[in-house]
Amino acid sequence: MTIELDSTLAQAEVLFLSFAQTVADIDRRKAEQQAQTRSDSQSLRHRHGSAASAATNLATIQLSEDLRELLKTETGRS
């Protein structure tokens, strides 16, 4: 069995970039959720339903520092 190095590296890069985008999306949505929560707590109206449910589900996502470390690139590495 042989492994095609070029295609394997290309697939790995695509998966890494997809992972990085997913982490960025989670961080962005959490920031938006926190801003919305602060805004809602200052207003008289509160949203109920699917949007609130989705926001609650997002709050339960926790990324470990080990996963975040994967996104850090080393400078000076050859």
pLDDT one-digit tens code per residue, 19-45: 999 999 999 988 888 888 777 666 655
Comparing 39 with 77, the larger pLDDT belongs to 39
> Of 32, 34, 20, 33, nearest to 63 (Cα)?
20
User: Does residue 53 carry a pLDDT above 60?
Assistant: no
For a pLDDT cut of 70, what percent of the chain falls above it?
68
pLDDT of residue 50: 54
Q: What is the DSSP letter of 33?
A: H
CA distance 33 to 70: 25
d(CA 33, CA 15): 27
Cα–Cα dist 70/31, whole Å? 21
N-term to C-term CA, the chain: 30
- Res 54 pLDDT > 70: no
